[in-house]
Every structure is written in structure tokens, then in C-alpha cells.
Structure 1
Amino acid sequence: MSRPDTDIMRRWLKLYLVMGSVNTETPEQVLRQAIAGGITMFQFREKGVGALTGTACVQLARRLQEICAEHGIPFIVNDDLELALELNADGVHVGQDDEAASVIRRRLGPDKIVGVSAHSLEEARQAIADGADYLGVGPVYPTISKPDAEAVRGTTVIEQLRTAGLDIPVVGIGGIHASNAAPVIAAGADGVAVISAIAGAPDSRAAAAELAGMVTR
């Protein structure tokens, strides 16, 4: 899978699942169910208390990557360039405290996806200048999945980006679920990224399907 054009990137961002072993005891099962429910992109994020390291982390990442490949779902690695290179992942997502997108782009090459978390118009402009393909903007709502999350922004930053004329693909993230996803799309986001709304749901397939229905209207 190669680096997409902007229109394809927007479609892939519609429903973006972010997950690792710390978010569920059955990541492979959850991913398969989420794909069946309609997710369009996946990010392997192995962080937090009890996160896998070393060979165990690589093995899980590879298994999840294979599931994504079976279904044509882009497989993105969160903040681990070396792992992404080892797996030949479709791309990398980095935060403001991680390696600069320009460095990631240089190491990954021109054909991979680079996503960047942005919490302000200034950070968004810098990410675009550094070669980002899309922005993850948030946290939109309060979230329990990331204890180190920035202050809640609501949809304000998404609206600011669009008002400023920034046309880069944008995915909203942070505390999003089916009942509050609509305002994120209305603000100008191309899609939503979720963790617990799917990984923590009793029925991952149903949760994904409900979210997919909200973001593709």
C-alpha cells in the first residue's frame, strides 16, 4: 500500500481505530470485528502500563498488520519509527513530543503515510510544512484512554484550521463515540479516531458499525 492522494486519505480517515494490547485482552479479535463493523484505518499504539516490549510487541504488531493487509486496511504505527521500518508499515503517527514529521518523512521515504497530532493552528501549520499527510486534532472531548492527553479543545481547533483555509485531511480524536461524533464531522474533520469506543465496547463490531454510520452520513 503506497502513500495516498488527499481524497483517498480522507476516505481512510473516516473511522480510525487506535489500539494496542493495553486496550483489550483480545486485540486480534477486536481488530477483526472492528474491520467487519466498518473501520477504515488502524493504528498500532502499544503504550501505557503493561505494554508489550521487544519481541512480544513486534509479534503482536505483525499479527495485527497481517489482519489489516487481508482486508486492505492501512496499518499505521504510533511513535515507533524503527518498528514501522522493520514491518514495512504503511506509515507512522507522531505527537508533538515525538520525532519531527520532517525526520520521519526522510527516514520513511516519500511513499509512506505520516500523521501528526496537532493541538493548535500553529502546530498544524508546522506539521504541514514538515510533510504530514494528515493531522490528528484533539482531544475533542475528555478521554480516559490517554492519561497524558492535552487539555480538551472541543471542536475549536478543527474549526480554526478550516477557517484558516488549511485543506489537509483531519481526524478528530479524544473521547469520541457514536453519540458525540456528529459535531466533529460538522466542524470540518474528515473522520474520527477512537480507542475505547471500539476496543472497550462489549461488541466491537456493533460499536464500529454504529460509529461508521455516524461519520459516513
Structure 2
Amino acid sequence: MRGHTDCLILASMIDPVADGVHLAGFDRYPKVYRGIVGRSCHGLDEVRRAELEGVDYVTISPVFETESKPGYGPPLGLGGLGRIARQAHVPVYALGGIDVGRVAACRDAGAAGVAVQGAVARSSNPEETIAALLDEWHS
């Protein structure tokens, strides 16, 4: 995302201290905003609409079964993730059911990165889990 390594992106909320905003599918695209803008997508058609809006990146989900946000349709799997990542014109971040054991597979399928909620939120040691996720991505 524009060469950033550490950045703060807030969900559905524009804040001057943040580097960007991540929009849900139903959020309106900000008319005047100079930060990073991402959008949640659940298929290639939504990715195409987000690209036309001018987003900097998208998350695609669910890649795997997820406890955090059920009801977004069947998992896309690594094949679906890879197909979308290859056809997208913006970086695609994998979301949904991501844990340490699945990070490298998402990277190898073509994801620009992973977005993780449940594995960190349910961890007894979130800092250790985040470090393990990063180590696995860079392995």
C-alpha cells in the first residue's frame, strides 16, 4: 500500500491521525480524501466496482470458514483467492479464517497480505500470535 510498512487504517471512519480508511461494502466512498482507501469485497464483481471507485486495495473474504463473521457465503478457498488476485488491478488481502498455518498458502496463492481478526482476538497472547503471523508471511 503505497510503500507503507506500518500504518493505521480505521474501519469505516475517517480520522486525521489515521493513514487510511477501510470501507465495508455498504460504506460510501469518500469524495475528498487523500489517505489510503480500501474496501471489503466478497467476489470479483465487487472488486471491479471497488477498482472503479479508485481504492488502493481490497480485502477478499471469506477465504476459509470463519467464526468471526459468518453469513458472507461459502469460503472462496485458495483457488478463488488466487483467481481474484490474478485478475485484480489493486492489491488483494486475504480475510476470513486466516491463522498462522494458512498465511503462507494465502501468500503463495497471490495475496498481497492477510487481514486477521479472530486468530488474534481469540489468542491468549495476541502479540505472540501477530509475531508468528508475520514470521510465517516472511518465511
Instruction: Give the alignment's TM-score, normalised by structure 2.
Output: 0.87
- Structure 1 residue 211 and structure 2 residue 133: aligned? yes
Letter of the structure 2 residue corresponding to residue 78 of structure 1: A
- Give the equivalent residue in structure 2 for 1:95: 24
- Give the equivalent residue in structure 1 for 2:111: 189
Conserved? CA contact 2:65–2:96, under 8 Å: yes
- Give the equivalent residue in structure 2 for 1:137: 60
Post-superposition CA distance 1:85-132 (Å, at most 9, x none): 4x4422111122222xxx32x23x2x2010011222221111111010
Letter of the structure 2 residue corresponding to residue 77 of structure 1: L
- Give the equivalent residue in structure 2 for 1:122: 45
Q: Deviation of residue 148 (structure 1)?
A: 4.4
Post-superposition CA distance 1:66-96 (Å, at most 9, x none): xxxxxxx31111123xxx24x4422111122
Q: Deviation of residue 167 (structure 1)?
A: 3.9
Match of 1:154 among 77, 86, 100: 77
Aligned equivalents of 1:162, 1:144: Cα separation in 2:
24
Q: Deviation of residue 147 (structure 1)?
A: 3.8
Conserved? CA contact 1:172–1:191, under 8 Å: yes
More helix by share: 1
Q: Aligned pairs, how many?
A: 139
Secondary structure of the residue aligned to 2:40 is strand
Q: Of the two, which has the highest radius of gyration?
A: 1
Post-superposition CA distance 1:43-71 (Å, at most 9, x none): xxxxxxxxxxxxxxxxxxxxxxxxxxxxx
Conserved? CA contact 1:138–1:174, under 8 Å: yes
Q: Whose RCO is larger (CA < 8 A, sep 6+)?
A: 1
> Structure 2 vs 1, CA of residues 150 and 93 (structure 1 numbering), >3 Å: closer, same or farther?
farther
Q: Which runs of 5+ in 1 are unaligned?
A: 13-72
Q: How does 1:1-12 map to 2 (within 5 A)?
A: 5=2, 8=3, 12=5
Runs of 4+ in 1 over 3 A off after TM superposition: 147-150
RMSD: 1.9
Letter of the structure 1 residue corresponding to residue 91 of structure 2: P
Conserved? CA contact 1:137–1:157, under 8 Å: no
